[in-house]
Structure 1
Amino acid sequence: MTRFQELVRQGRAEGIEAFLVGVVVLDGQGRVLMVRRRPEDRFGGLWEFPDGTPVTLTEHDAHRWAPLDDLPQVGGHHAEVLDHLRRHGTGR
């Protein structure tokens, strides 16, 4: 069993029914690519990471490259990941 399969098994045992993927994209200056959810969408107006599919503005109404010390308002799990990057660096 792979590590991923084990994580899925554990998640399902704990009642998790869906798994989502996000991608933190950094440019050469250490800025993070963020996309903003459309106002009428669930969590409208919040910024998030691209979800691993090609970025189009059909689900999002804006995008920006944001420095780690000047990020837009993001949701809970995105904030946790960005905080980790701020504390531990980007691995560059």
Structure 2
Amino acid sequence: MVGAVVSGAGRVLLVRRKPGDSLGGLWELPSGKVEEGEGLLEALYRGTAEEIGLAVRQVGDSGADFDHAVTVERAGPVVLTEHDAHRR
């Protein structure tokens, strides 16, 4: 698993799992599974684009193995495919 910490103006983007999903209703960072043959950064770029419709421009160090601070190409709009809501 790999997660994206998308932040700006002192706020962090969170997404909410759909009600019927595992842990439905839980707020979380955009994240996803690392697919076979894929590196962590590749998964981070792909997953961020697929789950929230934003392209990662730069990856920073968040000090964690799982979550990575990212800079995105544009601030929005967020396009959700795996979640039902988002907050910043």
User: TM-score of the superposition, structure 2-length normalised?
Assistant: 0.47
Work out which of the two has the higher radius of gyration on C-alpha atoms and give 1 or 2: 1
The structure with more strand, counted as a fraction of residues: 2
Query: Which gives a bigger RCO, structure 1 or 2 (Cα 8 Å, sep 6+)?
Result: 2
